[in-house]
């Protein structure tokens, strides 16, 4: 199994923080799967400019209640961290507040005064990435809400401990700004953020109402599969960011696209990932509504990873959670340019209402076929809204004029 993102010690490059990763091998998660998950975790860390120097695994039926790892393994990891000046220990699962407390004790001793080694779990890592990726005011508020909700049950230990540290991972949130230890203040902040977001959502709803008169298509999929690349291609927009990073896109972008003379709106939004923190799903409700309200979904998957099928299942499950599972969907198996000839048609379990197309957006393989098929479905939806075509063009003209003055677009 290749370890793309885990550097060995001798390869070290200057970096802000040095990290080790920790994961369990369980009945449900075999060695190979754990390796892949660790690689994904290292990729997440890399997004935050954290250098991963080593990973540790332990075979256990389930995490130890007190310290996640068993006693012997924990000592081995602690010794390594001390010997190699490790700044962060990242766990591939979520930790309970008491596990964090006990682990902090194990890595830093009784006193937190000279605390050196931070304990970070999967959710905190993802929250940090969202914090640096957020662009719009709404996305910032959504991330802030998720961060406060994450911190709330952990206040007693994290506040005192993390506030003494200099910055970096886990410190881009509210903890950096204030040191209140009062749960009530945090509770008030959560309420205030929710209120602000509700106001924004109701404004967004009004704005989206004007879009009800048009066909809406949303891009969905696991992170880093090529959603934004497809958005750039279909909408001919050079200004959309597509890069080899997890969660390059966190906000939603909407573009007008015309296929075969029929106009529609295309939305690109945040990607999904294994164990996306529930807090984030809740906080990003408004952003995710773009998906819920769409008529057609373009589910993009990365056909070049051996975990394509699993990622597809994770996306389907997340769509179910947000209430968007029964939509007309194109399952686009992207990046087929990376597959050898003869393997370009992957056997994937399809669903009702779903059409599968193997494509390479970057190399323009089968993209014409996608445009043709998408064009057909868009037209069908369009004529359903506008049985009278002439009226349709008039209202589209109005719609375009209105929306073009809208900065959100
Ligand atoms: N080889 C190959 N690479 C591709 C293809 N499509 C996209 N990519 C690359 O995949 C990486 C991720 O692309 P994005 O479009 O940013 O992916 P995304 O799904 O929007 O990712 P997030 O916004 O991070 O969730 C980029 O480096 C793209 O250049 C393709 O057809 N073939
Ligand atoms: Mg993107």
Q: Whole-angstrom Cα distance, residue 124 to residue 201?
A: 25
Q: Which pLDDT belongs to residue 73?
A: 96
Average pLDDT estimate for 21-25: 96
- Phi then psi for residue 275, to 5 deg, are 55, 45
Of 260-269, 292-301, 392-401, the one with minimum mean pLDDT is: 392-401
Residue of 43, 224, 340, 370 with the most ligand 1 atoms within 8 Å of its CB, for mutation:
224
Looking at the domain that runs over 214-404, which CATH code has it been given?
3.40.50.300
Is the pLDDT score of 8 beyond 50?
A: no
The pLDDT value given to residue 272 = 92
The whole-number pLDDT of residue 196 equals 94
What per-residue confidence (pLDDT) applies to 79? Answer: 95
Q: Distance of alpha carbon 388 from its chain centroid, rounded?
A: 41
Q: Where in the chain is the domain with CATH 3.40.50.300?
A: 214-404
How many of the other CB atoms lie within 10 Å of CB of 318? 21
How far is ligand 1, taken at its centre, from the CA of residue 244, in Å?
6
- 334: Cβ below 6 Å to ligand 1? yes
Cα distance between residue 344 and residue 303, in whole Å? 8
**What is the percent of the chain with per-residue pLDDT over 90, rounded to a whole number?**
45
pLDDT of residue 392 exceeding 90: no
397 CB burial (10 A radius; 0-12, 13-18, 19+)? exposed
User: What is the architecture of the domain spanning 9-175?
Assistant: 3-Layer(aba) Sandwich (3.40)
Q: What is the pTM of this model?
A: 0.82
Two structure tokens written together for 191 = 């309420």
Q: For ligand 1, pick from 218, 221, 225, 226 the residue to mutate: most ligand atoms within 8 Å of CB.
A: 226
Contact 296, 379 (CB under 8 A): no
pLDDT band at 164 (very low <50, low <70, confident <90, very high): very low
**109-124 pLDDT per residue, tens:** 865 555 578 999 999 9
Q: List, in sequence order, every beta strand (DSSP E) within 16-158.
A: 17-25, 50-59, 88-91, 118-121
In this predicted model, which residue has the larger pLDDT, 164 or 226?
A: 226
Q: Where in the chain is the domain with CATH 3.40.50.11060?
A: 9-175
Shortest CA distance to 22 belongs to which of 65, 55, 53, 52? 55
Q: Please determine, for residue 96, whether its predicted confidence score (pLDDT) is greater than 60.
A: yes
Beta-carbon-side half-sphere exposure of residue 371 (alpha carbons within 13 Å) = 19
């Amino acid at each position: 199994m290749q370890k793309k993102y885990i550097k060995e010690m001798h390869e070290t490059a200057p970096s802000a923080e040095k990290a080790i990763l920790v994961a369990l091998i369980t009945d449900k998660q075999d060695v190979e799967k754990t390796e892949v998950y660790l690689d994904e975790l290292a990729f997440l860390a890399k997004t935050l400019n954290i250098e991963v120097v080593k990973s540790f695994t332990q075979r256990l039926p389930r995490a130890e209640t007190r310290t996640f790892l068993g006693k012997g393994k924990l000592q081995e990891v602690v010794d390594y961290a001390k010997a190699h000046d490790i700044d962060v220990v990242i766990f591939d699962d979520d930790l309970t507040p008491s596990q964090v407390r006990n682990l902090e004790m194990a890595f830093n001793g009784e006193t937190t005064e000279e605390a050196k080694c931070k304990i970070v779990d999967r959710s905190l890592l993802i929250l940090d990435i969202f914090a640096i990726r957020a662009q719009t005011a709404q996305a910032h508020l959504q991330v802030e809400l998720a961060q406060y909700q994450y911190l709330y049950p952990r206040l007693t230990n994290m506040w005192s401990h993390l506030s003494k540290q200099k910055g970096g991972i886990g410190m881009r949130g509210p903890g950096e700004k204030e040191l209140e230890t009062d749960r009530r203040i945090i509770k008030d902040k959560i309420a205030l953020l929710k209120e602000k977001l509700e106001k924004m959502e109701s404004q967004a709803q009004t704005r989206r109402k004007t879009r009800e008169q048009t066909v809406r298509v949303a891009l969905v999929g696991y992170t880093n599969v090529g959603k934004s690349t497809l958005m750039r291609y279909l909408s001919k927009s050079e200004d959309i960011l597509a890069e080899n990073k997890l969660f390059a896109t966190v906000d939603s972008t909407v573009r007008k696209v015309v296929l075969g003379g029929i106009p529609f709106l295309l939305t690109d939004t945040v990607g999904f990932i294994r164990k996306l923190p529930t807090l984030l799903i809740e906080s990003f409700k408004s952003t995710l509504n773009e998906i819920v309200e769409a008529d057609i979904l373009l589910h993009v998957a990365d056909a070049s990873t051996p975990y394509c099928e699993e990622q597809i299942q994770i996306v389907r499950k997340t769509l179910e959670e947000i209430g968007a599972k029964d939509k007309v969907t194109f399952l686009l198996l992207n990046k087929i340019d990376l597959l050898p000839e003869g393997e370009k048609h992957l056997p994937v379990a399809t669903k009702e209402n779903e059409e599968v197309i193997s494509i390479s957006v970057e190399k323009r393989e089968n993209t014409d076929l996608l445009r043709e098929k998408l064009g057909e479905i868009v037209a069908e939806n369009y004529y359903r809204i506008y049985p009278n075509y002439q009226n349709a063009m008039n209202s589209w003209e109005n719609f375009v004029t209105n929306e073009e003055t809208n900065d959100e677009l």
